[in-house]
Amino acid sequence: MAETPPLQAVKVFDAVARHLNFTKAANELNMTQSAVSYQVKLLEDFVGTALFRREARGVALSEHGRTVAPLVRQALGDLNQAFRSARAETANLLVISTLHTFATNWLAPRLGSFQMENPEIAVRLDISQHLVNFHDDGVDIAIRTGKGDWPGLESHCIGGGNFTVVCHPAYYERIGRPKMPADLTDCIFIGPTDDWWPVWFTAAGIEPPAAFKRPGIDVETQQMAAVLASAGHGLALVHLSFVAEEFKAGKLIQPFDVMANSGTNFYLVYPEGKRLPTKTQLFRDWILKEVGQKL
């Protein structure tokens, strides 16, 4: 036997206990009177005793019914409050799926301004590399790299496609202040297996080297590449907007005026064909305004 009765039967009992009338309870619950009677019978069978006394002018609570009724009212009130709180928390929680590099280098330093404009909205960053499943993952909006052609998703290009070589000023001096990309021979390349290197050399108008002369430093993220470069450990490829603070602090320079693009960009994405919740609309409008200056 189940340890708790069916919730529908409990709700029906509460309505009848308040109205002491099956018809009024049925009207409140949008049920037929016979359905109300059936649910009450289910609950009485579960309890093993009558909860109402049938009288000529309606019903009255039995002794057991009078004991149970206030407890049921309180329990239903607690249950409703729990779900109201959960719904309010969900309504005010914006879950953003984003790449680690974008979150660290661009979004996190600016996110405070969004929350200052929208203090009622809490934000949670979901850092991941996979293309989020909005239906299953509980994500409201996402930032991804690609060409903006994901089926079923609305996408807004927010820039970030161009990248270039950066290094620490001291490292530039140490390698002899090369005047052109073709002079990059005896250097340490950060992320030497990165597909961006051949693209950058091609943009510079020279044949990409089949192999670098010196062992490089393999990294997994653009953020780590920038950290190593700003510490003077070699040449890295980055989006300039991601290292603006390092440039201001004099930790990085752009030794060559060569920009390259891999054909992909950062995109803001969310499901198409459905009305966006207010919290998602506010974030979309905010970030599109922020990237009025190109990434």
* pLDDT reading at 89 higher than 60: no
Cα gap 118→287, rounded to integer Å: 13
Residue type, 32: T
Tell me the mean pLDDT in the region 108-113: 90
> pLDDT for 30-60, tens place per residue?
899 899 999 999 999 998 999 999 887 778 9
H or E segment to which residue 33 belongs:
helix 33-47
Cα gap 74→80, rounded to integer Å: 10
* pLDDT reading at 117 higher than 90: yes
Q: Please report which confidence band the pLDDT of residue 295 belongs to, taking 50, 70 and 90 as the band edges.
A: very low
Q: Please report which confidence band the pLDDT of residue 87 belongs to, taking 50, 70 and 90 as the band edges.
A: low
What rounded mean pLDDT belongs to the chain? Answer: 86
Per-domain boundaries in the chain: 7-89, 93-158+264-290, 162-261
Fold of domain 7-89? Arc Repressor Mutant, subunit A (1.10.10)
Tell me the mean pLDDT in the region 156-175: 90
CA distances from 82 to 61, 74, 86, 87, 209 (A): 28, 12, 6, 9, 63
Same topology, domains 93-158+264-290 and 162-261? Answer is yes
Q: Please report which confidence band the pLDDT of residue 2 belongs to, taking 50, 70 and 90 as the band edges.
A: low
Q: Please report which confidence band the pLDDT of residue 90 belongs to, taking 50, 70 and 90 as the band edges.
A: low
* pLDDT reading at 1 higher than 70: no
Name the token pair of 167. 């290094």
How many Cβ atoms sit within 10 Å of the Cβ of residue 231? 12
The CATH homologous superfamily for domain 93-158+264-290 is Periplasmic binding protein-like II (3.40.190.10)
Higher pLDDT pick, 64 / 86 = 64
**pTM for the complete prediction?**
0.60
Tell me the mean pLDDT in the region 214-240: 88
CB 65 within 8 A of CB 71: no
* pLDDT of the residue at 165: 94
Tell me the mean pLDDT in the region 169-177: 93
* pLDDT of the residue at 172: 94
Q: What's domain 162-261's architecture?
A: 3-Layer(aba) Sandwich (3.40)
Q: Which of 239, 238, 220, 236 is nearest to 228 (CA)?
A: 236
Tell me the mean pLDDT in the region 178-200: 88
Residue type, 74: Q
Cα gap 32→278, rounded to integer Å: 38
